[in-house]
């Protein structure tokens, strides 16, 4: 895999990446690629946000509820097949599909990546 173009540390600092807790997950039938609609609690400062996630290969909706994830919260919302995706839940492109990135210990929704 080729490394993408370089950015500066200041560019990285522009990203607001926080911990969220998935509180609802359901199939997203209108999406072009198999996806879920997620409702994620991003803590008291950010609140609950919607996200569309192409993570169906490794996860069932019922297994996602309560899972902590990392998400970028300061991208502009995107309209995906009539659904406003407000945050970008982060994962790795791994063998067999996307695997979510999660803290290895329970933390508070809204905690900032640092």
Class of CATH domain 11-94: mainly beta
Angle at CA 24, nearest 5°, toward 21 and 26? Answer: 135
Per-residue pLDDT reduced to its tens digit, 6-58:
999 999 999 999 999 999 999 999 999 999 999 999 999 999 999 999 999 99
Contact residues for 2 (Cβ-Cβ < 8 A; gap 6+): none
Give the Cα separation of 55 and 58 in Å (integer).
6
Write out pLDDT tens, residues 53-109: 999 999 999 999 999 999 999 999 999 999 999 999 999 999 999 999 999 999 999
């Amino acid at each position: 895999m080729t490394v993408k173009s370089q950015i500066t540390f200041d560019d990285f600092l522009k990203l607001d990446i926080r911990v969220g807790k998935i509180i609802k997950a359901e199939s997203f039938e209108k999406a072009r690629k198999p996806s879920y609609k997620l409702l994620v609690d991003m803590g008291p400062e950010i609140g609950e946000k919607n996200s569309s996630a192409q993570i169906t290969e490794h996860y069932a909706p019922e297994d996602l509820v309560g899972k902590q994830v990392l998400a970028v919260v300061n991208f502009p919302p995107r309209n995906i097949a009539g659904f406003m995706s407000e945050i970008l839940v982060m994962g790795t492109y791994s063998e067999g599909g996307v695997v979510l990135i999660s803290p290895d210990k329970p933390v508070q929704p809204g905690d900032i990546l640092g």
